[in-house]
Amino acid sequence: MKLHEYQSKQIFSKYGIPIPKGRVAATADEAKQIAEELGGRIVIKSQVLVGGRGKAGGIRLAKNPQEAAEVARQILAMDIKGLPVRRVLVDEAANIEKEIYLGITNDRAARKPVMMCSAAGGVDIEEVARTTPEKIIKVHIDPLLGLRDYQAYDIAAGIDLPRELWRSFLTIAHGLWKAYSANDATLAEINPLVIANGRLLAVDGKMVIDDNALFRHPELAEMRDLDIEAPSEIEARKYGLSFIKLDGSIGCMVNGAGLAMTTMDIIKLFGGEPANFLDIGGGAGADKVAAAFRIILADPNVKAVLINIFGGITRCDEVARGILAAMDEVKPNVPMVVRLVGTNAEEGRRLLAEANMITAETLADAAKKAVSVAQAVVKEG
Amino acid sequence: MSILVNKNTRVVVQGITGNEGLFHTQQMVEYGTNIVGGTRPGKGGEWVLDGKVPVFDSVRLVVEAKGANCSVIFVPARFAPDAIFESADAGIPLIVCITEGVPVQDMMRVRNYLDQKNIRLVGPNCPGLLTPGEAKVGIIPGNIAIKGNVGVVSRSGTLTYEVLYALKEVGMGVSTCVGIGGDPINGTNFIDCLSMFEADPYTEKIVLIGEIGGTDEEKAAEFIGDNLTKPVVSFIAGQTAPPGKRMGHAGAIIEGGSGLAADKVKALQAVGVRVARHPEEIPSLLKETVET
């Protein structure tokens, strides 16, 4: 789950990282009032969860409160890459002398968090990583020990940070480590960390929180911005389903992410287009399957549904009962192709045989049947 | 012969009294797995499955009383890291964690702890292990695989069953199937399993099932090119998946490779691995490896 810049920076601030003075505003009047309190030059920053805000015109300077109100009004009326700007962050503008990148993420291969730092920070850090990776210093952190002082000093020395800033850098590096570890982040980054008027300041920040850990961070879970998700995806999450909407005509209901992707692949291999990715997960009860059905069938592009269930943790009879309950409730008007194999599959198949559904033995057979009935529906329509 | 588990493996089930734990304990017992006990703190002294399996308060007690040497974990995600630590501290050398949804920072602490103790973890978020005809430790349906000489290793769950089922349909058997799980941080990876299969005299061919994300398949390809004499057939899921949501600058920096299916397929083909277009093609590709 991604956090907004203002949310990330507030968290950073809690752990001793210096951030610019400022607050978030939802209206031009609020922005003006904050600008009056701050005095001096200010920066108005759109709070949307996409990259490239600056290049899209979503980050602008203002010289005085009147100008701040006007700029905020314009930015709040924008859509950036399809996302409405609902809030702007009004910060005092920094006199930036130098831009540094400082971030922590999980290194899958090393199975440890890694702190990364570069003297070439700013918007082009990915370009730096691609073309001159030696300009990025990486230090792995033992998750049982945490960040050690010497590691932070190594980084400061490695980026040729002026020595008078080393103590401040140490505080910031430890603060970022604490923000990352205490909040179960998968990413915590300051970009840029600037030198302004001789001191370090976290001008922009970003955090991504591990969805699996939100149970122990209810206050973070409440920060979720639903704008970046399709309504069907929000509905799916309520039922513990993993759903991604696509543009094809064959709805898919599958258990397991790998098998769901494979089912999409094989539909395409036999000339069809999947309408979605949907993993009903393990231990899916009737209500969960019914919800999956409603979500798939709400898409008017869906001309056929392919249900592919291989029972392990999910028992096929339970799935079959879920399908039948959902059929009763939703009364689907598109053909259904079902393939059930695995634990209690016979009982599941027996239950479905009575419900007039197209059944298939193999995955290839199921995909071919789904593609052909979907095409037939399109021709009839 | 097999890898990791066989009929002599003495298994303790952590979370045996929960719905999933109990259901799959029954399945494992019916398969013939040597389940020596289960744990649920506070329910020690009780029995499950009509008095067939004793419940203990801790893994340590099952090790002392029953000589357990493998644990399988069915507890909810928030308790799973503790369950793994408990088994590790009780001296269990092989821990299989079925639970999905374990926070990734917990897994980093778990993995770094286990590495210091030289303990093998399989999973989390995995279907577990199956040595057909001997033992199943986890949730892989027992009736979809027969004994044989194909070693199977997979990052996926149900997709693995597809492959086992397709093999059985044409009469091909399996030495051991290892579901290593799809989480970013797990206990056992492709390379661990490839080297165990290479060393196992009963395994003659290997099936490797990967999916998009990360670079484990590329690393496995490199390892196959350098170390394996046995033929490998592969399938990579997610060839048509839309590009995933990026994880900010740092994610892009650290991943290096793109994680795309096409790159993984290319890396595997470059070292002579045959890559199937869909899972049901795997048996015929395995047969071809005999001829060449």
Interface mutation vs chain A, best among B26, B78, B108, most A CBs within 10 Å: B108
pLDDT category at B291 given cuts 50, 70, 90 is very low
Give the pLDDT of residue A330: 76
Name the pairing type of β-strands B120-122 and B94-97. Answer: parallel
pLDDT reading at A233 higher than 90? no
Instruction: Tell me whether residues A261 and B78 touch, CB distance under 8 A.
Output: no
pLDDT reading at A208 higher than 50? yes
- Distance of alpha carbon B218 from alpha carbon B204, whole angstroms: 22
Of the candidate ranges A114-118, B16-20, B153-157, B258-262, the one whose mean pLDDT is the lowest? B258-262
pLDDT digits (tens, 9 = 90+) for A187-201: 999 999 999 999 999
Q: Return phi, psi of residue A193, to 5°.
A: -90, 115
Q: Does domain A231-380 have CATH number 3.30.1490.190?
A: no
Contact by Cβ (8 Å): A271, B171? no
CB-CB neighbors (< 8 A) of A274 in chain B: 240
CB-CB neighbors (< 8 A) of B23 in chain A: 315
CB-CB neighbors (< 8 A) of B277 in chain A: 269
Q: Does B77 touch chain A (CB under 8 A)?
A: yes
Give the pLDDT of residue A229: 77
Contact by Cβ (8 Å): A191, A103? yes
Cα–Cα nearest to B27, from B49, B12, B44? B49
Same fold, A1-20+95-228 and A21-93: no
A372-376, B1-5, B146-150, range with greatest mean pLDDT: B146-150
CA-based nearest residue in chain B for residue A264: B240
Give the pLDDT of residue A290: 83
- Summarize the confidence of residues A13-18 as an average pLDDT: 98
Report domain extents, chain A. Answer: 1-20+95-228, 21-93, 231-380
pLDDT reading at A341 higher than 90? no
pLDDT reading at A123 higher than 60? yes
The count of C-alpha atoms lying within 13 angstroms of the C-alpha of A239, restricted to the half-sphere facing its C-beta, is 24
- Distance of alpha carbon B238 from alpha carbon B235, whole angstroms: 10
The count of C-alpha atoms lying within 13 angstroms of the C-alpha of B58, restricted to the half-sphere facing its C-beta, is 10
Q: Does domain B11-122 have CATH number 3.90.1150.10?
A: no
Cα A301 to Cα A248, A254, A355, B183, B207: the distances in Å are 7, 19, 24, 33, 37
Domain A21-93: give its CATH superfamily: ATP-grasp fold, A domain (3.30.1490.20)
A75 - beta bridge partners? none
Other Cβ atoms less than 10 A from the Cβ of A297: the count is: 17
Q: Does B162 touch chain A (CB under 8 A)?
A: yes
pLDDT reading at B37 higher than 80? yes
pLDDT reading at B40 higher than 80? yes
Phi-psi group of A82: left, alpha or beta (phi > 0 → left; psi -120 to 50 → alpha; rest → beta): left
Name the residue with tokens 């019916």. Answer: B30
Contact by Cβ (8 Å): A213, B103? yes
More confident residue, B73 or A360: B73
More confident residue, B1 or B222: B222
Q: Does A189 touch chain B (CB under 8 A)?
A: yes
Contact by Cβ (8 Å): B119, B146? no
The size of the A-B interface in CB pairs under 8 A is 184
CB-CB neighbors (< 8 A) of B278 in chain A: 262, 265-266, 269, 363-364
Interface of A with B in 117-176 (CB under 8 A): 125-126, 129, 136, 142-144
Report the mean per-residue pLDDT for chain A.
Answer: 91
Instruction: Tell me whether residues B108 and A111 touch, CB distance under 8 A.
Output: yes
CB-CB neighbors (< 8 A) of B185 in chain A: 106, 108, 111
Domain B128-291: give its CATH superfamily: Succinyl-CoA synthetase domains (3.40.50.261)
To the nearest whole Å, the CA of B251 is away from the closest chain A CA by 7
Across B164-185, b (16+ Cβ under 10 Å) vs e yields bbbbbeeebebbbbbbbbbbbb
Interface mutation vs chain A, best among B249, B260, B277, most A CBs within 10 Å: B249
Q: Does B279 touch chain A (CB under 8 A)?
A: yes
Six token digits for residue A269:
């291999």
pLDDT category at A287 given cuts 50, 70, 90 is confident
pLDDT digits (tens, 9 = 90+) for B120-134: 999 999 999 999 999
CA-based nearest residue in chain B for residue A279: B158
pLDDT digits (tens, 9 = 90+) for A22-46: 999 999 999 999 999 999 999 999 9
Same fold, B11-122 and B128-291: yes
pLDDT digits (tens, 9 = 90+) for B200-227: 999 999 999 998 888 899 999 999 999 9
- Distance of alpha carbon A20 from alpha carbon A61, whole angstroms: 14
The H or E element containing residue A115 is strand A112-118
B35 - beta bridge partners? B11
Cα–Cα nearest to A165, from A153, A179, A181? A153
CA-based nearest residue in chain B for residue A365: B280
Cα B159 to Cα A363, B90, B213, B256: the distances in Å are 11, 33, 16, 27
Nearest beta carbon to residue B250 from set A105, A283, A362: A105
CA-based nearest residue in chain B for residue A183: B105
> What does pTM read for this prediction?
0.90
Give the pLDDT of residue B246: 38
pLDDT category at A313 given cuts 50, 70, 90 is low
CA-based nearest residue in chain A for residue B254: A107
CB-CB neighbors (< 8 A) of A189 in chain B: 248-250
Six token digits for residue A212:
């699996």
CB-CB neighbors (< 8 A) of B162 in chain A: 259, 262, 310, 363
Q: Does B264 touch chain A (CB under 8 A)?
A: no
Name the residue with tokens 């602008």. Answer: A60
Q: Under 8 Å CB-to-CB from B38, ≥6 apart: which residues?
A: B12, B13, B14, B15, B16, B17, B21, B25, B48, B53, B54, B55, B56, B62
Instruction: Tell me whether residues B165 and A101 touch, CB distance under 8 A.
Output: no
Fold of the CATH domain A1-20+95-228: D-amino Acid Aminotransferase; Chain A, domain 1 (3.30.470)
Q: Does A210 touch chain B (CB under 8 A)?
A: yes
Report domain extents, chain B. Answer: 11-122, 128-291
Give the pLDDT of residue A285: 66
Six token digits for residue B47:
């029995």
CB-CB neighbors (< 8 A) of B248 in chain A: 103, 105, 187, 189, 206, 208
pLDDT digits (tens, 9 = 90+) for B76-106: 999 999 999 999 999 999 999 999 889 999 9
Give the pLDDT of residue B245: 40
Contact by Cβ (8 Å): B141, A311? yes
CA-based nearest residue in chain A for residue B240: A265
To the nearest whole Å, the CA of A198 is away from the closest chain B CA by 26
Task: Supply the DSSP symbol for A163.
Answer: G
Task: Supply the DSSP symbol for B134.
Answer: T
Nearest beta carbon to residue A106 from set B98, B184, B211: B184
pLDDT category at A340 given cuts 50, 70, 90 is confident
pLDDT reading at B249 higher than 50? no
pLDDT reading at B67 higher than 90? yes
pLDDT reading at A258 higher than 90? no
Contact by Cβ (8 Å): A57, A81? no
- Summarize the confidence of residues B171-189 as an average pLDDT: 94
